[in-house]
A and B are shown apart, each in its own frame.
Chain A
Amino acid sequence: MSTTAAPAHDRPRRWDSPFSDEITDADVQSLLSRAPFVNMKADNFPRSATLPDVLKNDTRICRYKKGEIIVREGDYGTSAFLILRGTARVVLSPALPPSAVGRREPARRGIFRAIAQLWGNAKEDEVARKRDRSRFMRQDEGETHIILQDIPRILDKHRTATINAGDFFGEIAALSRMPRTATILADEDDTQLLEVRWQGLRDLMRYDPALRSHIDRIYRERALSTYLAEIPFLKHLDEAGKAKVMAATQFETYGDYDWSGDYKKLAQSGGSAGKEPVIASEGDYPNGIVMMRAGFARLTQRYGGGHRTLNYLGSGRIYGWNEIAHNWRQPDNTVPLQHTLRVIGYTHVLVIPASIIEQVVLPSLPKHLLPDLIKTEGADAASPFTRTPFALAEEKAKDSPEKKSEAASAESRVGSELMEFLTANRFFNGTETMVIDMDRCTRCDDCVRACASTHDNNPRFLRHGPTHDSIMVAQACMHCADPVCMIGCPTGAIHRDSFEGQVVINPATCIGCTACANNCPYGSIRMTEQRDESGGILIASDAKPIVKATKCDLCIDQYGGPACERACPHDALARINLNTLDDLAAWLHR
């Protein structure tokens, strides 16, 4: 490896790679003369990110013909849209089938390009190749628009709504780091949209309070109606009942949007469950059910002088349902909340008041969907493993006894100590967590070498990390359900892949600011020095090395999935979704 430094280069900056090259100064002036930008005070914006600069660099103007799909349900997106001209139509329910909206897997290397890695890979580590720079420069350009066929039939069979010029949409996915919740298509020819990447939207909201409150309001309204439509027990309600539930439901948010810092402080102070904010407490009267929408919460129960973790609840899980149903069925023998629900991270919840559940929801339900009564005494007292009640009830009705017991016992198969370990370290956030069975791992480092071979000779993870018993969680990007690393990125270099949602870094737009590496609660992002083809470290004009963020990309462009997992000779390493415990329980007992 050469140690000679190459000639100085300009350090990458935020807008070296604007969202689009096609937006002109005239376009910017035109935008500034129309709502909502005309009402924004330019003085509120800092000199480093003026309003014209944000519009010039973080937006682009897109044109669509009638029927062309603008966003697809299920895709990950990091931008919002403002309709400049024309109208758009949002498909509410039922959702369009994937084939109709042209969902397809991301392009992987062809077989010849895979083989060409034998001689084509650079000899030096982290070589910043020119072809890579140009390949990644515009991550969304060249996208082919898909036209939805037979629109009249779709309008006939699917409930839709119209969005008019001047309205924003797409802000839920852009702001919550979640998939798009609906498919939206252009409703007129020459529909013109302003697409704002989320870094720009964040700046606009930060420096213009009016836009912030407007986006917050529509975000809450749309998110609430979308989320409530997913709650299983609403399926049994008539329209009037659904309207009552919707009117009474509260939308609450706990924790800091950027919870990484809080977690690090808590961990440094030897944090325990007792120090986490509480949503609802064991022993209190159950005055509503809490439905998790995003983020996670810890379910605990008093044990001796502390709190024992029984489970963690992610999106779609419900708390307080069993108690309210019990009290409705046995008003003379009421029970309080059996567990405490604590905030871990940034948590969105929906709260439906107990009175609405008792008056509207429970009377509408068939008997077999009601949960079992809570036993306050004996061996079966207050089962702590609160699964989605409807999932359990439906399992009870349909599945074989073996399947039922297997599903219900995932938590017990994992064990409370391992659960405590996963929760204390916030590993539940990972959708592709690298877990290693140290009883089988021979420390051969084949996984590390395979990763290096497929990633510029530099492994994207450390085969080391917190260990519980024989299970190690290695320092590899977990592709979190809530990727806080994305929060501070000024250029959008770290983003979700639109198809499967892997968190990936675009090296062309990464400016090496270290925001993502500092934000990652798990230390899974590393800053690496860039080199030229001869191995010389690239030096910026300030005489410091040019660095870029690197991390596991789950071998998104390779055949067969993650090379680390495929390279393990002993079946010791696996990439596991820890959002729920089912996959982990199955792997532990493989």
Chain B
Amino acid sequence: MTAKIKEFPGVGLRESDFTERKVLFTEWKPDARYAWDAGVAIGRYLAELKEGRIIGVRCHHCRRTVVPPRIFCEWCFRPMDEWVYLEDHGVVNTFSICYVQWDMERLEEPLIPAVIEIAGASKGVGILHLLGEVDPREVKIGMKVKAVWKPAAERIGAITDIRYFKPIN
């Protein structure tokens, strides 16, 4: 049918139609605010971060240790068996070098987000965090990295209690 149709509906506007007010429009900034209950598993995770520790959970049934913690094993659909303290170092599973903000403005210094497989957790199990104290050109998949913690007095029980992960030899 596309072959038969000459004219499709839809009118495209230019950016200038808006800036020069050739079209009318309304604006609205939603005030959407939330306070999410952390609950049992993430509540403990945050409390341990405040103490400078990373904690995970273990399922004896499928023999996996995972982080961030959860009270159920999503594979076996049964309660997790135990809390397990993990190391605060690990291996880069994958990374990016990000030069833009969400609104596409260029960043002066690129950010280096990475999935970091945490030592003590099962293979392939990682968390999202940032890399620091490293030349972006030097970052490699498989590189060993260690958490750089905020001083104890500045920690509030948040993922940002770890400033970033930095390479270790």
Do A and B come together as binding partners?
Answer: no
